Structure 1
Amino acid sequence: MDNTEDSDTESVYVVRKALASVQNGDTDHYTQLIGMMYPKYSDIDAVAQLETLLKILSCSVAFIDVVHHRDLLSNIFTMSLWNHRPNVMDALVDLIISLAATSGKYLDLCLNMLISNFIPPPSVTPRKNQEVLPRVHAALHKISYLIPLAPSKLVPILAQRMPKIHIKGQDSLIVTLTYVDNLLKLENSPIGKVVGSMILMVVMERMRDLDLEIEWDDILQEDSNRGMFDMELEDAVESTMNEGDEFPVGALYQYTSDGNVVSELLDRLMVLSFKHLKSCKNSGRLDEVFEILFESFENYVLNTYKSKFSQFLMFYACSLDPENCGVKFASKLLEIYLSSNKPRLTRMSAVAYLASYLSRGKFLPPSFVASMLKRLVDECAEYCRTCNDDMKPKAHQVFYSGCQAILYVLCFHMRSILDIPRFQSQLTSLESILSHKLNPLMVCLPSVVSEFLKQSKAGGLFVVSEAFIFDDLQESELSRAFGGFERLDTFFPFDPCLLKMSNRYISHNFNSWTYNDEELCAEVIVNTDAESEENSDDDVEVDNEMSLTPKHCFMRETKRLLKMPSRIRPSTSPPESFRIF
């Protein structure tokens, strides 16, 4: 025992002497120390020496100088836990903690080194994952406990280290998924109590960026005279799909090898985030997390041009807690729309989100939908009472966007509204709005107007004037002027989700569209939980009537379509340029 202690004491003396000798110009022993940090792993003795050296350095950090021992520090901070055995990992982690706690000048370097280990090397085994990642989290938590400033220093490092899509194939998926999974674990930890909101924003921003990398620019150049109710894919794929087949959810990436890594990555990140939200619900944190999530949505998604999928994080969070989060989301969107202090295009985007959400959220009770409709109707009615202007789409874009939102929601909920006289009575001002000389029926998207008028006439919402009947409605310059180049008149952000795995979490809470020809009245199809489970491995229906991602009859050019459905007109959202307003 005494011999062992004497040996350890001597080793500590030798290492500290080597560190001190550098300042006197003697670097021989110091150079030998650095050489010991990269042993051959087949050499058991060399690995044991490395472990011993790291342990001695942990209790000798006061002897390490940031100037004279620059090479030593560089070697320490570039070491990867993934390259070492557990006993060496433990010694290295202890050294990093000691350096972080001893001097603030090492804190950023220590945090950077630990966060770099959230990114696994290629072909890492699950066992290695379990060896490395818990040690990283434990070290981060210990440093945060010892140095309260550490969590705030952590956030910019987490954002900077977020992997980009530079690695081909599955490696890119694994790297990013592992990294984001560990960010979400931090959010759900004591560190998250300090900087959880910023961590969620880092994740939301990354998903938004991936969303934007999925391109369908050519869609905006398609013929815009077709309404959402009759849009179909015009091409055919011989011997691949038959007339009447549905566009398969998930086809964005499932048949291609490299061009759709982004779609698959986003899909998997969405699922990872869904699971995180579910765990927050189970632990009673969802209400707190929802506020952060909405702030992230407002900052990164609401005014983002061509956001297609990332907004479904909000939809799923609302479905987990309809009475609280579900109501809050709609109320916050309505508040943005009604606020004259918000930019015009932000208000238009908000009411488009509101309309799509109220239409598609199966978990929203008719009474709540009716109350939201009443507030929109009252707002538009008040606008009409104070406006003596004629039909000028560009001058009254916010008004027309509100009108279209009302019509769109009623296309989905006409029957439930008409079944209850109290709900119907709340819409008495609607006819005067539609009859106003601002003439919203001539400005809003013709396919929405046409469907609304059919249902109004069949259901007896009000007496449909002959002036309201338009045969073969075609999109006019009026509609385009209201929507602008950004086509906010065709913006329905909660159209069916085309990401296959994500859609399985969405579909059983999602109102799908169908049509009853006998009664000329729409029905909203809601899958029972049993149906959802039964079809969870199948492609989910994409409704072609009330959607800009419609059911199709014909497809051709499989590779092009599966890369991105260029013959489908998707929902689009306001461009990034909106932020200047």
Structure 2
Amino acid sequence: MTPEVHNVNSVLHHWTQGDTRLYDTLLEVLNDPGLQSRELVFILQSMRGCVAQLDRTHEVLVGSLMKVNWPNQEEGVIREYRSFLLNLLSAHTFYLRAGLRMLVRHFLPDTSESEPEAETKALEDKKYINIHLVLRAVSSLIPMTWTVLMPLLSNCCPFILRPLYHLECFFTNLLQIPAYMPSLRQPILELIVSKLIQLDVRSPRCEIECTEGDKQEVDQVMFQMEVPSKHQDDNMPDTAEHVGAQKLDVLMELLLKYIHDTSYKKDVCDWDTCKKLYRELLLVFERIVLPTCASSHCQFFMFYICSFKPALADGFIDYLWTRFQNPNSETVFRQTSVAYIGSFISRAKFISIKTLKTCMELMVEWVHRYLEEISAETIFADVSHHAPFYSVCQAIFYVFCFRSKDILDSEKGYKWAAGLQLQRIVTCRLNPLRSCLPLVVETFSSVTRIYQLAFCDTIIEKNKRCTISVSTQNNDGFAVQTEILDSFFPFDPYLLNRSGELVRPLYREYTCGAVSTPHTKQHLQMEDDDFLTETENKVAFGTSGAPMSHFGVSQKPPASTDFLNYGTSPGFKHV
């Protein structure tokens, strides 16, 4: 290297005089990938003394410095570069965007390998530490840093088709930023969840089950439906594992561990910190997850944080119920909200019986009040006009299928359940048994028949024979029948393996267990029930009277084979 370029002040002086030879030489040296650390230190030390001269006319020179790969250099280079950058950005804030963009781009690994060696990963981790030290210093020095940084994080975020290692590195670095810029936590969480949603909708539940589940077990419990083979569906992935699901699994684990580590200090929940994080996540849920109708796993971050404190779960339910009750909300959002309530209180093990009963009372009371307020002329089960009503009915049926044992085992549980007046709901003129999902209806009918809380069989058989002429128009202008409610069960079984280790201990699988009350024992001892066929008796209780799955197989299915696993994504479309 020409010794003259070490004196950057002299180089700039010659440039102002019209002599650009040394200036061009300096640019060539900075753009040389073989630039030695010792030479770079000399240049940075010299340039730090003339930072004031580096106005907009020297954007090319500053741009060349921004391209230097300094984070993996020796400690002397890192120290000099950090000092130069801080001086530059504090003296000329118009370089702030370029400086932050350079730092953010270093959040991605330098290697193009999808699975680098451990030594390479260690070097990358060291680089990220240096980047965060500089970024923390910049944020402390320049208060406007956070307003410029967030758009850059969004623009530089890698596309979801990039290798998993790249996504994992970038998101790990994102989650470290709130430690020194807490005002960015909520938008960063929103950015991460938006990417998880994209991965989620690209990884349909049916594909994950076919590629990652145990096919033999799936065949046993798919409710007498054939699992489509790869030859039957050309869109099925050919790989042994679903790539999108793998990425989603790793990134969901990152998010869930961040939620836990932020909320817990020394294995004790920090209530103030946890409550603040919950509010931010609830805002993210409202903006990103709730309007999305094709997610299967992303929404479980709310499920997870609600398990930390009963007050959080109650608050989540209250938020959803408030949204449902708002008559100004769009119908689809009201339906989604009540679907979340039903699925949440059915699946979450941490929901107390008191909360369960309160939710059921709210929903049942709303249904009875709705029936009282509708006009006498309303005789047909019109899903298009009464969608919120049918959604609440389906949530009631769904919850009762899951939690009937808990309800009836509780103190005065049978009396409380009888007070819900379920018979009035199933026999009302809006005929919810006609419009709700058949599997939910059949299961609800079996459960309520056993406990003599409602008798649905006659109505179900009548509905099978009748055709209700209710028509709307689709996008093409053709009349279509809308008899069955579009169904969505957001907390269907969690199929991802790594992140599932955090979710499954909190998750309730469907069991067809009987309630140990005198009223129930009478039914358990009956060999021939007037309502149950021989097959139904075996399905419900098994030949020995012990709880069994609905399929007559041993009740320990994998996570992907829950009895009420409908696989109804995307959204309200029942597949």
TM-score, normalization: structure 1? Answer: 0.78
In the TM superposition, residue 487 of structure 1 has moved relative to its aligned partner by 8.0
In the TM superposition, residue 477 of structure 1 has moved relative to its aligned partner by 7.1
User: Which residue, 168, 187, 199 being the options, matches 2:188?
Assistant: 199
User: What's the counterpart of residue 233 of structure 2?
Assistant: none
8 A Cα contact 1:393 1:443, kept in partner: yes
User: Which residue, 73, 80, 85 being the options, matches 2:62?
Assistant: 73
Cα deviation per residue 1:172-196 (whole Å; 9 max; x = unaligned)? 1111111101111112x1302x221
User: Which residue, 439, 446, 450 being the options, matches 1:447?
Assistant: 439
In the TM superposition, residue 86 of structure 1 has moved relative to its aligned partner by 3.3
8 A Cα contact 1:163 1:176, kept in partner: yes
Matches within 5 A, 1:465-544: 467-468=458-459, 470=461, 489-516=486-513, 519=524, 540-544=558-562
Consecutive unaligned residues of structure 1, counting only runs of 5 or more, are 1-9, 220-228, 239-250, 527-534, 549-568, 576-581
Amino acid at match of 1:158: L
Helix, strand or coil: the match of 1:545? coil
Helix, strand or coil: the match of 2:158? coil
User: What's the counterpart of residue 28 of structure 1?
Assistant: 21
User: What's the counterpart of residue 300 of structure 2?
Assistant: 312
In the TM superposition, residue 47 of structure 1 has moved relative to its aligned partner by 2.4
User: What's the counterpart of residue 360 of structure 1?
Assistant: 347
- 1:254–1:364 CA distance, 2 compared to 1 (3 A): farther
- Aligned residue pairs total 499
Cα deviation per residue 1:356-389 (whole Å; 9 max; x = unaligned)? 1111001111111111111011111111110122
User: Which residue, 426, 430, 434 being the options, matches 1:438?
Assistant: 430
User: What's the counterpart of residue 108 of structure 1?
Assistant: 97
Structure 2 residue 563 is matched with structure 1 residue 545: yes
8 A Cα contact 1:446 1:475, kept in partner: no
For the residues of structure 1 that align with 2:38 and 2:439, how far apart are their CA atoms?
74
Consecutive unaligned residues of structure 2, counting only runs of 5 or more, are 209-220, 231-235, 473-479, 515-522, 525-536, 550-555
In the TM superposition, residue 416 of structure 1 has moved relative to its aligned partner by 1.5
- 1:137–1:480 CA distance, 2 compared to 1 (3 A): farther
User: What's the counterpart of residue 453 of structure 2?
Assistant: 461
Matches within 5 A, 1:142-157: 142-157=137-152
For the residues of structure 2 that align with 1:313 and 1:525, how far apart are their CA atoms?
31
Helix, strand or coil: the match of 1:512? coil
User: What's the counterpart of residue 240 of structure 2?
Assistant: 255
- 1:31–1:230 CA distance, 2 compared to 1 (3 A): closer
For the residues of structure 1 that align with 2:194 and 2:548, how far apart are their CA atoms?
33
Amino acid at match of 2:174: L
In the TM superposition, residue 525 of structure 1 has moved relative to its aligned partner by 10
User: What's the counterpart of residue 38 of structure 2?
Assistant: 48
In the TM superposition, residue 91 of structure 1 has moved relative to its aligned partner by 2.1
- 1:474–1:58 CA distance, 2 compared to 1 (3 A): farther
Matches within 5 A, 1:316-327: 316-319=304-307, 321-327=308-314
User: What's the counterpart of residue 15 of structure 1?
Assistant: 8
In the TM superposition, residue 254 of structure 1 has moved relative to its aligned partner by 7.7
For the residues of structure 1 that align with 2:243 and 2:449, how far apart are their CA atoms?
48
- 1:173–1:236 CA distance, 2 compared to 1 (3 A): closer
For the residues of structure 2 that align with 1:29 and 1:173, how far apart are their CA atoms?
44
For the residues of structure 1 that align with 2:189 and 2:227, how far apart are their CA atoms?
41
Amino acid at match of 2:505: H
Cα deviation per residue 1:259-317 (whole Å; 9 max; x = unaligned)? x3222111100000011011112142221111111111111111213111111111111
For the residues of structure 1 that align with 2:44 and 2:340, how far apart are their CA atoms?
56
Amino acid at match of 1:156: P
8 A Cα contact 1:359 1:408, kept in partner: yes
For the residues of structure 1 that align with 2:565 and 2:278, how far apart are their CA atoms?
27
User: What's the counterpart of residue 565 of structure 1?
Assistant: none
User: Which residue, 344, 354, 357 being the options, matches 2:331?
Assistant: 344
User: Which residue, 125, 128, 138 being the options, matches 1:130?
Assistant: 125
In the TM superposition, residue 415 of structure 1 has moved relative to its aligned partner by 1.7
In the TM superposition, residue 151 of structure 1 has moved relative to its aligned partner by 1.0
Helix, strand or coil: the match of 1:513? coil
In the TM superposition, residue 461 of structure 1 has moved relative to its aligned partner by 2.4
* Percent of pairs with identical residues: 25
In the TM superposition, residue 230 of structure 1 has moved relative to its aligned partner by 6.5
Amino acid at match of 1:255: A
TM-score, normalization: structure 2? Answer: 0.79
- 1:490–1:339 CA distance, 2 compared to 1 (3 A): same
Matches within 5 A, 1:232-271: 232-235=224-227, 255-256=240-241, 260-271=242-253
For the residues of structure 1 that align with 2:456 and 2:297, how far apart are their CA atoms?
39
Structure 2 residue 99 is matched with structure 1 residue 117: no
8 A Cα contact 2:435 2:483, kept in partner: no
In the TM superposition, residue 473 of structure 1 has moved relative to its aligned partner by 6.2
More contact order relative to length (CA 8 Å, sep ≥ 6): 1
8 A Cα contact 2:52 2:91, kept in partner: yes
In the TM superposition, residue 484 of structure 1 has moved relative to its aligned partner by 9.1
User: Which residue, 291, 295, 318 being the options, matches 2:279?
Assistant: 291
Cα deviation per residue 1:101-120 (whole Å; 9 max; x = unaligned)? 11120111111111111011
8 A Cα contact 1:57 1:95, kept in partner: yes
